[in-house]
């Protein structure tokens, strides 16, 4: 098991142990639900990692790897700049504030969010 998976699994197990101990000490629904939901969330992440991850032999995990070993591999999309993140943040902020002060702003912002998301997806292609 990779370190990452072990991290999520042990955190989930810890959450279950503490949640169970808490229930028997307190019979308090709130804390027990919080701890169990937390464990469930971590378990979801662990399950996803276990069943969906590719068997990647990461050069980072090779103890004796040399710096050139990772050369040429496709490791991801590294944009240098993009206007869409600030726009997305602005439209989401406008939407949330609009919920409080003006439905019109909220609706306009919601439309803007959709437009910005579409642009983001386009940019990734």
Catalog residues that contact other proteins under the rule CB under 8 A. 2-4, 7, 11, 14-15, 18, 21-22, 25-26, 28, 30-31, 34-35, 38, 41-42, 45, 56, 58-70, 72-86, 88-90, 92-93, 96-97, 99-101, 120
* Rounded Cα–Cα distance for residues 48 and 92 (Å): 28
- Closest approach, Cβ 112 to other proteins, in A, equals 14
Q: Which residues of 93-124 are buried (b: 16+ CB within 10 A; e: fewer)?
A: ebbeebeeeeeeebeebbebbeebeeeeeeee
Do 16 and 36 touch, CB atoms closer than 8 A?
Answer: yes
- Which of 28/107 has CB closer to other proteins? 28
CB of 111 to other proteins, least distance (A): 18
Residue closer to other proteins by CB (options 82, 111) is 82
Q: What are phi and psi of 120, to 5 degrees?
A: -60, -40
Considering beta carbons, is residue 65 or 107 the nearer one to other proteins?
65
DSSP result, 14-28 = HHHHHHHHHHHHH--
Q: How far is the CB of 7 from other proteins (least distance, A)?
A: 7
If you ran DSSP here, which 8-state letter would residue 73 be given? Answer: -
Q: Which is nearer to other proteins, 86 or 118 (CB)?
A: 86
* Smallest separation (angstroms) from other proteins to the CB of 90: 6
């Amino acid at each position: 098991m990779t370190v990452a998976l072990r991290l999520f699994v042990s955190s989930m197990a810890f959450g279950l142990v503490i949640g169970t101990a808490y229930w028997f000490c307190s019979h308090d629904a709130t804390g027990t639900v919080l701890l169990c939901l937390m464990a469930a969330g971590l378990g979801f992440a662990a399950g996803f990692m276990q069943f969906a991850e590719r068997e990647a032999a990461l050069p980072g995990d090779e103890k004796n790897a040399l710096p050139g070993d990772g050369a040429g591999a496709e490791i991801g999309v590294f944009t240098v700049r993009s206007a869409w993140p600030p726009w997305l943040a602005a439209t989401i902020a406008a939407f949330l504030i609009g919920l409080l002060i003006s439905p019109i702003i909220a609706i306009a912002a919601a439309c803007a969010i959709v437009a910005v998301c579409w642009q983001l997806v386009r940019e990734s292609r």
